[in-house]
Amino acid sequence: MFVRALEVLGDSGRGLAVVDSTSTSSSVLEGYGRRGICGLRLNFYSSNVTNSLREIERTLAEAQAILPRPGWHLEIIARAGTLAAAATVIAKSDVPIAIDHYGLPENEAPEGPAGHALLDLASLPHVWIKLSAPYRCSLNALETSPPSAWLNALVQAAPDRCVWGSDWPHTPPRNHEATKNPALPYRNIAYDRLFGDFLEAFESPEMARRILIENPLRLYGFPWQ
């Protein structure tokens, strides 16, 4: 269904794929690319990462080995502590890296050790930040306002490499997902409220335009109008 939607959208749609890098070839990804796929998503969040540096180094190497270039990138979802532990590997990547959900700072502050590591990564020219899912950065499971300290710090570090994302359809919190209860409802969050709260966080319409329009045009390879 996802690929079919991209076919309908044509050049107006883009997507990311989750694949097994050890059994997927570049030619398969090239076929995906013709349908609008432009990146691979790597998840270091949904399961425990015992050795962040070694696991991310191995996974990035496997993904980069099959990644068609140019125009493709890797998206990483991981906690700030995990990203900090593997910062040297991410910094050396020769393909663009997009870090999801503000880097999942959780209890970390921008001024702390993990915060400094994340902001150092964000300042690198090949690292992008997805400003999505503020509820994943808050104790409030239905939070729609961006984490202000992190929003300001990340936008200052990477004004040309921050992009917004809705994170729809707002999956349940991880502690609930662990119960594997198929009847558990997704978070009931209105799109207009989520988007409106994001816009209200910016005093500058120019910066909002950059994050919502200009930056994603470059990251996802949309044609400029």
Please determine, for residue 176, whether its predicted confidence score (pLDDT) is greater than 60: no
Quick: pLDDT tens for 105-135: 988 999 999 999 999 999 999 999 999 999 9
Q: For residue 173, tell me if it sits in a domain.
A: no
Q: Is residue 175 part of a domain?
A: no
**For the chain, what is the domain count?**
1
Let me know if residue 148 belongs to a domain: yes
In this prediction, residue 9 carries a pLDDT of 87
Contact, 79 vs 47, CB < 8 A? no
d(CA 151, CA 216): 17
Mean local confidence (pLDDT), 208-214: 97
- Model pLDDT for residues 51-87, shown as the tens digit of each residue: 778 889 999 999 999 999 899 999 999 999 999 999 9
Tokens of 56: 């991310």
Provide the pLDDT for residue 194. 98
Q: How far is the C-alpha of 107 from the C-alpha of 110, rounded, in Å?
A: 10
List the domain range (segments joined by +) for residue 13: 2-167+187-219
Q: What angle do CA 221, 150, 111 make, to 5 degrees?
A: 130
Report which residue type is found at 214: E
pLDDT at residue 203 in the model? 87
In angstroms, the CA 162 to CA 127 distance is 9
CATH code for the domain in which residue 86 is found? 3.20.20.140
In a domain, 58, yes or no: yes
Q: Is residue 179 part of a domain?
A: no
Residue 52 and residue 149: Cα distance in Å, rounded?
Answer: 26
Average pLDDT over residues 180-196: 87
- 16 near 32, Cβ under 8 Å? no
Q: For every residue of 66-102, which 3-state class applies, written as one string?
A: HCCCCCCEEEEECCHHHHHHCHHHHHCCCCCEEECHH
In a domain, 15, yes or no: yes
Q: What is the total residue count of the chain?
A: 225
Put the strands of the sheet holding 97-99 in their side by side order: 15-17, 37-43, 73-77, 97-99, 127-132, 162-165
Q: Is pLDDT of 14 > 60?
A: yes
Task: Confirm whether 13 is domain-assigned.
Answer: yes
Tell me the helices (H) and strands (E) count for the chain, helix number first.
11, 6
Reduced to 3 states (helix: H, G, I; strand: E, B; else coil), residue 131 is strand
pTM (two decimals): 0.93
Burial of 62 (C-beta count, 10 Å sphere; 0-12/13-18/19+): middle
Among candidates 125, 203, 113, 204, which has minimal Cα distance to 157? 125
Q: For the chain, what is the mean pLDDT?
A: 92
Residue 182 domain-assigned (yes or no):
no
